[in-house]
Amino acid sequence: MSFDSPNPPGQFPQVRMRRLRRSDWMRRLVREHQLTANDLIWPIFLQDGTSTSTPVASMPGVERLTVDRVADAVAKAAELGIPAVALFPATDPARKTPDGDEALNAENLVCRAVRAVKAAKIDIGVICDVALDPYTTHGQDGLVRDGYVVNDETLEMLGQQAVVQAAAGCDVIAPSDMMDGRVAAVRKALDAAGFQHVAILAYAAKYASAYYGPFRDAVGSKKSLGQGDKRTYQMDPANGDEALREVALDIAEGADLVMVKPGQPYLDIVHRVKSTFGVPTFAYQVSGEYAMIAAAAANGWIDRDAVMLESLLAFKRAGADGILTYFAVDVARLLRANP
C-alpha cells in the first residue's frame, strides 16, 4: 500500500487508541505504572510533652506527636506496609541557640523518638534530617557568621549531628541543608564512628521554595526565620541543569539515595535525574503541596482521595522510586481497601 492511500496503515481508522481504554480489565492490563505502599515514606512531626497530638493548622489532617505516641503511629504505618518514616522535631524555642547546639544533644526530641521506635522493634526504616534549622534561633540550616550561612564550619556540625542520630538508631541520614560537601562530610563522620551501614539519602536537588511554608509552621522554624530566606544555599527554582550537577556531586560524595524537593512542580527534575543517573531517586511531596490539596478538598472543590492518588502516581510516572508524602498513611489504607 502506498502512503498516498486514503487510509494509510498505522493511522485512524485502523488505529483506535480507545480500544485500550474500553474496559476496566483492559485499562489494568496496559497500565504502565502503579503506586503501592512500598513507594511511600511518611514524614512525622514531633513535639515535647506526653500523650498529646497537636493538629498543624496549615496542614489539615496532620498532627505533631509526643514521643510516647510515636511508636504506635509508626507501628500502624509498618502494618500498612510503609517501608520508612522520616522524623522532624518541633524544638522547644527555649532550646534554640544561634549555633543550634541542641542538634548534638543525644537526648533531643528526635533522638528520643528514634529510640522509642527502635525499642518497639518495628520493622521499618527510620530517616532523620541533618540540618540545623530545627535548632537555630535564626532558623537557618547552618551556622551564621556576619549574616552569611557559612559552609565549612557548618559541615563539622552536620557530621556530628549525623553521628548522634545514628547512635540513637537512625537507619538513614538525610542531609537537607544544601551545604557544599556535606554528603562527604557526613559519610566520613559516620564511617569514623563505626556506622558504615547507615545510609545517606541526600536532598540533592533542594530548591529555595515557597512550598515549605506549612512545614515551617509545623516545626516552628517560620518565626525563627522571620524575613530571612535560604536562597544562598538552596537552589534557584529557575534552574534544571544545575540540579544534575548537584546530584552528580552527591553521588560522587557517597549518597546512596538522592532526592528532589519539592515534588510535583519539579517532576521534570525527577525525570532528568532518574534517566541520567539511574540511582534510587526519591521526591518529596512537600507541605505546601499537601496543604493545597487538603484545602481544596476541604472546600469540596476537588476529590481528596482521587487527587491524592493521581498526584502520587505522577511521581511514579516521572521516575521516582519513592515519595515522601504526608498522605502516606491515608494512601496505604486506601490501597489496602482497593488494591
What count of other Cβ atoms lies within 10 Å of the Cβ of residue 338? Answer: 8
Q: Which is nearer to ligand PBG, 141 or 246 (CB)?
A: 141
- 201 contact partners, CB below 8 Å, separation of at least 6: 127, 172, 173, 174, 255, 256, 257, 258, 259, 282
Q: Which is nearer to ligand PBG, 229 or 303 (CB)?
A: 229
Measured CA to CA, the distance from residue 283 to residue 280 in angstroms comes to 10
By CB under 6 A, which span of 16-24, 125-133, 270-278, 305-313 interacts with ligand PBG? 125-133
206 catalytic per annotation: yes
> Helical H runs in 86-181?
109-119, 152-168
Q: CB of 31: closest distance to ligand PBG in angstroms?
A: 29
Measured CA to CA, the distance from residue 202 to residue 253 in angstroms comes to 10
8 Å CB contact between 273 and 258: yes
118 catalytic per annotation: no
Q: CB of 189: closest distance to ligand PBG in angstroms?
A: 18
Residues from 179 through 218 that contact ligand PBG (CB under 6 A): 212, 215-216
Site string for ligand PBG, 269-308 (x = CB under 6 A): -----------------xx---------------------
- 204 contact partners, CB below 8 Å, separation of at least 6: 243, 246, 247, 250, 251, 255, 258, 259, 260, 273
Determine the residue with CB nearest ligand PBG: 215
Q: Which is nearer to ligand PBG, 286 or 308 (CB)?
A: 286
Q: CB of 233: closest distance to ligand PBG in angstroms?
A: 9
Q: Which three cell numbers stand for residue 2?
A: 502506498
Q: Which is nearer to ligand PBG, 127 or 166 (CB)?
A: 127
The three-class DSSP label of residue 174 is strand
Q: Which is nearer to ligand PBG, 100 or 125 (CB)?
A: 100
Residue 246 binding ligand PBG, by CB under 6 A: no
DSSP summary character for residue 52: -
Catalytic residues: 206, 261
Which residues of this protein are in contact with ligand PBG, per CB under 6 A? 129, 131, 133, 141, 176, 212, 215-216, 230, 286-287
